């Protein structure tokens, strides 16, 4: 797949410069003025400056301070991010911009557990209720999967339950049904239980959830041994949690000019994980598209351009999934391609293009995705930066577009993966270190940005948008086969979170 011929590259450059000279430039007319120059890759790239990108990123950091260092969807800081984007777009009078607002369940929390004078490493369960309980621990029989496993002595106490056989959520609801005050679940292997979930927001058919935490198998076995030996152990469970429906919005902005039957769409997500401000992930993508959107009014183009700033990506591609599933077949057909630009300024950056033709990972995108991949390969060749393919697995906002058979592509600079020695040579990076050591953490702030890599990538995004805004040659435009049901939206809340963020799913 990395067989870009120099002939093709020259041909591309030739076309671009022919168009550069054939159109009179410098017009200052309205949005439909024929005097504006036709956008070209070269001209749009020249409009991209790191100072403006960094200005947007700093603004996002400032917003995160409104919400204690996060821009998670539904927070004041996320809403401020949306107002900032929409306000700047509206000022250009160049776009039809709408908020697409909808409710989605938000669940976030943490748990601590201490007993016998020491505090235990404890994890929280998604959907687990908040609370503070101090009470003696009572051992639950067997695996706590049946009401009869819970002894009468558990009333008002903390139920100590071993992992296994049935879902976490059933155990915690049965503890509530038995009128326990709280529950501690310990692993059936020595190590810790991380990233567990109660699976559903409530289980009215089983019982009410109680404040709960998860500890390692070794810690649990030691507690069981002491209690079985007749020692009373009083524990404290403290859970801080928010489980609520939040209204949140996508921003969809479409140029007033250009052919709206052939839309070039580009997207990035506007929310961060609850743990941090999300400046590389994916503030960098948000800022890149915003800056390109603010520069486009100087140009004319053949095809309309539409931007999607997606909400709640970190909760499982929620915003982009909502957008795609609420589009009619006819409107889907008008979206010619979708380009995704998220995480484009990783500190130990790679340059990974989605493997749309499947040549590297055997996951092939809808017809046309191969063309998009080649367009970006050519860009990186022209920028004299090595690129590598990355699996086209749907693990970002382009996933719902793939499900709708819309050709897609894009690139990213790497997340939690570790840079190899060979890659370190290509990209002058650090071998054995993550591409983004702050991935999904509080330290994903302004200092986490790799400005040189960002500029290369932002110009690459400009290249993709300008190229297809000029011409969709090479992208099939005949009616697509009816879309499959969008896969991402059929997944459960927890599967979605897994899909987006790599968290572990435990059901038993
Ligand atoms: C962010 O906040 C700091 C401190 O309040 C301020 O100095 C800076 O101008 C703000 N930056 C932006 C881009 O608004
Ligand atoms: C803000 O974050 C800090 C550190 O993560 C935490 O200790 C504090 O409780 C949080 N405050 C609020 C209001 O959420
Ligand atoms: C954020 O915006 C939504 C949608 O407009 C609104 O319902 C919500 O109350 C706002 N949240 C906060 C925390 O301001
Ligand atoms: C509780 O503390 C006592 C005294 O420090 C210790 O001997 C015992 O092993 C502890 N039990 C557990 C389950 O940690
Ligand atoms: C590629 O995937 C297809 C469909 O899943 C499969 O039939 C084929 O064997 C795979 N090819 C390779 C080389 O793995
Ligand atoms: C879920 C997440 O962390 N967000 C996305 C940020 O962008 C990268 C690169 O496109 C995606 O892989 C992530 O899924
Ligand atoms: Zn993320």
Whole-angstrom CA distances from 475 to 52, 223, 259, 327 are 32, 63, 15, 21
Q: Which residue's alpha carbon is at the smallest distance from atom 3 of ligand 6?
A: 501
Q: How far is it, in rounded angstroms, from Cα 300 to Cα 36?
A: 6
Residues 56 and 127 in one domain: no
Would residue 111 count as lying in a domain? no
Assigned domain for 214 exists:
yes
**Is the minimum distance from the CB of 223 to ligand 4 under 6 angstroms?**
yes
Q: What is the pLDDT of residue 395?
A: 80
In this prediction, residue 483 has a pLDDT band, given cuts at 50, 70 and 90, of: low
349, 473: one domain = yes
pLDDT (average), residues 146-158: 98
- The candidate with the shortest Cα–Cα distance to 375, out of 264, 255, 481, 259, is 264
Residue bearing the CA closest to ligand 1, atom 7: 62
Please state the atom number of ligand 3 nearest to the C-alpha of residue 101.
Answer: 4
Taking CA atoms only, the protein residue closest to ligand 3 atom 7 is: 247
Within 8 A by CB and 6+ apart from 135, the residues are 156, 157, 158, 181, 182, 234, 235
451-470 and 285-295 are packed helices; what angle lies between their axes, rounded to 10 degrees? 50
Q: Does the C-beta of 444 come closer than 6 Å to ligand 6?
A: no
Band the pLDDT of 41: cuts 50, 70, 90: very high
What phi, psi does 402 have (nearest 5°)?
-60, -45
Q: Are residues 150 and 94 in the same domain?
A: no
> Would you say the CB of residue 222 lies under 6 angstroms from ligand 4?
yes
For 166-202, write each residue's pLDDT tens digit. 999 999 999 999 999 999 999 999 988 876 888 888 9
**Residue at 110 is within a domain:** no
Between CA 171 and CA 183 the distance in angstroms is 9
Is residue 506 a part of any domain in this protein?
no
Ligand 4 contact, 226 CB (< 6 A): yes
Residue 137: give its domain's CATH number. Answer: 3.50.30.30
Among the atoms of ligand 6, which is closest to the Cα of residue 344?
9
Looking at residue 230, its pLDDT comes to 94
The reply to whether ligand 4 has any atom less than 6 angstroms from the CB of 114 is: no
Query: Are residue 477 and residue 340 in the same domain, yes or no?
Result: yes
The last residue of one of the domains, among 202, 232, 262, is 232
Residue 272 in contact with ligand 3 by CB distance below 6 A: no
Domain range for 485: 2-104+245-501
Residue partners of 331: CB distance under 8 A and separation at least 6: none
109 within domain boundaries: no
Cβ pair 216, 193 in contact under 8 A: yes
Cβ–ligand 6 contact at 271 (below 6 Å): no
Nearest CA to ligand 6 atom 7: 342
Confidence of residue 482 (pLDDT cuts 50, 70, 90): low
Looking at residue 418, what DSSP letter applies? Answer: B
Same domain, 62 and 160: no
pLDDT digits (tens, 9 = 90+) for 451-473: 999 999 999 999 999 999 999 99
Closest ligand, as measured to the CA of 80: 3
pLDDT of 107 over the 80 cut: yes
Most confident of 98-107, 132-141, 483-492: 132-141
* 416 within a domain of the structure (yes/no): yes
For the ranges 101-115, 116-130, 148-162, the one whose mean pLDDT is highest: 148-162
Which residue CA neighbors atom 10 of ligand 6 most closely?
A: 342
pLDDT (average), residues 125-134: 95
The ligand 3 atom nearest the CA atom of 99: 5
Residues 268 and 392 in one domain: yes
**How far away, in angstroms, is 116 Cα from ligand 6 center?**
42
CA of 241 to the centre of ligand 4 (A): 30
Residue with tokens 């050709």: 407
- Ligand 5 centre distance from Cα of residue 365 (Å): 14
- 285-341 pLDDT tens trace: 999 999 999 999 999 999 999 999 999 887 778 899 999 999 999 999 999 999 998
Q: What is the tens place of the pLDDT at every residue in 284-295?
A: 999 999 999 999
How high is the pLDDT of residue 310?
94
224 in the same domain as 251:
no
Q: Over the chain, what is the mean pLDDT? A: 88
**What integer pLDDT is reported at residue 272 of this predicted model?**
85
Atom of ligand 1 nearest to the CA of 61: 1
Domain boundary, last residue among 176, 202, 232? 232
Ligand 1: centre distance to CA 62 (Å): 6
What is the distance in A from the centroid of ligand 1 to the CA of 60?
Answer: 10
Please tell me whether residues 218 and 257 are part of one structural domain. Answer: no
Ligand 4 pocket test: which of 115, 116, 230 has the largest number of ligand atoms within 8 Å of its C-beta? 116
CA of 116 to the centre of ligand 4 (A): 6
Asked whether 359 lines ligand 4 (CB < 6 A), one says no
The residue from 232, 264, 296 where one domain ends is 232
The CATH number covering residue 277 comes to 3.40.630.10
Q: At how many degrees (to 10) do helices 285-295 and 50-65 cross? A: 130
Tens of pLDDT, residues 70-97:
898 989 999 999 999 999 999 999 999 9
For ligand 3, whether the C-beta of 254 sits within 6 Å is: no
**What is the number of domains present in the chain?**
2
Q: How far is the CA of 287 from the centre of ligand 2 (A)?
A: 26
Same domain, 316 and 457: yes
pLDDT tens, position by position, 348-377: 999 999 999 999 999 899 999 999 999 999
Domain membership of residue 403 (yes or no) is yes
Ligand 6 atom having least distance to the Cα of 282: 6
| Residues 263, 228 share a domain | no
Neighbours of ion ligand 7 (CB under 5 A): 281
pLDDT confidence band for 2 (50 / 70 / 90): very low
Query: Which residues are designated catalytic?
Result: 313
State the pLDDT confidence band at 492, using cuts at 50, 70 and 90.
low
Q: Determine the distance separating the centroid of ligand 2 and the alpha carbon of 132, expressed in angstroms.
A: 17
Report pLDDT for 491.
Answer: 53
Residue with CA nearest ligand 4 atom 6? 116
375 CA distance to ligand 6 middle (Å): 21
Residues 305 and 445 in one domain: yes
CA-65 nearest atom, ligand 1: 2
Residue closest via CA to ligand 1's atom 6 equals: 62
**Percent over 90 (pLDDT), the chain:** 72
Q: What is the CA radius of gyration of the chain?
A: 26
B/e letters for 143-153, b = 16+ CB within 10 Å, e = fewer, are bbbeeebbeee
Is the C-beta atom of 396 inside 6 A of ligand 6? yes
Q: Are residues 283 and 135 in the same domain?
A: no
Is the Cβ–Cβ distance between 70 and 64 less than 8 Å?
yes
Q: What pLDDT shows up at residue 106?
A: 85
Residue 77 lies in a domain: yes
Residue 475 beta carbon below 6 angstroms from any ligand 6 atom? no
Q: Are strands 335-341 and 388-390 parallel, antiparallel or unpaired?
A: unpaired
Q: Which ligand is nearest to the CA of 59?
A: 1
Nearest ligand 1 atom to the CA of 62 is: 1
Residue nearest to atom 3 of ligand 1 (CA): 62
| pLDDT for residue 273 | 80
């Amino acid at each position: 797949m990395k067989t870009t011929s120099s002939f093709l590259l020259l041909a591309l450059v030739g076309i671009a410069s022919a168009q550069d000279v054939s159109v009179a430039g410098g017009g200052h007319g309205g949005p439909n003025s024929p005097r504006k120059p036709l956008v070209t890759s070269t001209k749009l790239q020249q409009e991209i400056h790191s100072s403006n990108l960094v200005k947007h990123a700093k603004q996002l950091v400032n917003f995160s301070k409104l919400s204690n260092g996060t821009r998670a969807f539904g927070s004041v800081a996320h809403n401020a991010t949306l107002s900032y984007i929409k306000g700047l777009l509206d000022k250009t009078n160049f776009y039809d911009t709408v908020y697409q607002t909808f409710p989605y369940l938000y669940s976030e929390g943490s748990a601590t557990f201490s007993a016998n004078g020491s505090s235990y490493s404890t994890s929280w369960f998604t959907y687990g209720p908040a609370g503070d309980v101090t009470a003696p621990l009572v051992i639950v029989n067997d695996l706590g999967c049946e009401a009869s496993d819970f002894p009468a002595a558990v009333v008002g106490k903390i139920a100590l339950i071993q992992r296994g056989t049935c879902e976490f959520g059933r155990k915690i609801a049965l503890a509530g049904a038995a009128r326990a005050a709280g529950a501690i679940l310990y692993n059936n292997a020595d190590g810790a239980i991380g990233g567990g979930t109660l699976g559903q927001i409530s289980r009215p058919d089983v019982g009410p959830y109680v404040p709960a935490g998860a500890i390692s198998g070794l810690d649990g076995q030691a507690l069981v041994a002491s209690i079985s030996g007749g020692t009373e152990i009083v524990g404290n469970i403290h859970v801080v949690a928010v489980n609520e429906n939040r209204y949140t919005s996508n921003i969809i902005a479409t140029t007033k000019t250009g052919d709206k039957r052939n839309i070039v769409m580009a997207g990035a997500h506007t929310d961060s994980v609850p743990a941090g401000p999300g400046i590389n992930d994916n503030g960098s993508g948000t800022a890149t598209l915003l800056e390109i959107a603010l520069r486009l009014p100087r140009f004319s183009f053949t095809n309309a351009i539409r931007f999607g700033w997606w909400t709640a990506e970190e909760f499982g591609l929620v915003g982009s999934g909502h957008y795609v599933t609420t589009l009619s077949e006819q409107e889907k057909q008008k979206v010619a391609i979708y380009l995704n630009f998220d995480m484009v300024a990783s500190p130990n950056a790679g340059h990974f293009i989605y493997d749309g033709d499947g040549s590297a990972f055997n996951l092939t995108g809808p017809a046309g995705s191969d063309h998009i991949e080649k367009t970006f390969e050519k860009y990186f060749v022209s920028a004299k930066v090595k690129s590598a393919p990355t699996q086209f697995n749907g693990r970002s906002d382009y996933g719902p577009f793939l499900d709708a058979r819309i050709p897609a592509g894009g690139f990213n600079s790497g997340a939690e993966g570790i840079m190899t020695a060979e890659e370190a040579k290509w990209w002058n990076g650090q071998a054995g270190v993550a591409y983004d050591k702050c991935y999904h953490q509080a330290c994903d702030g302004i200092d986490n940005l790799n400005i040189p890599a960002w500029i290369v990538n932002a110009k690459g995004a400009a290249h993709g948008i300008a190229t297809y805004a000029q011409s969709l040659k090479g992208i099939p435009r005949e009616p697509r086969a009816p879309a499959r049901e969008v896969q991402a939206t059929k997944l459960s809340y927890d599967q979605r979170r897994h899909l987006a963020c790599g968290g572990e799913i435990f059901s038993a």
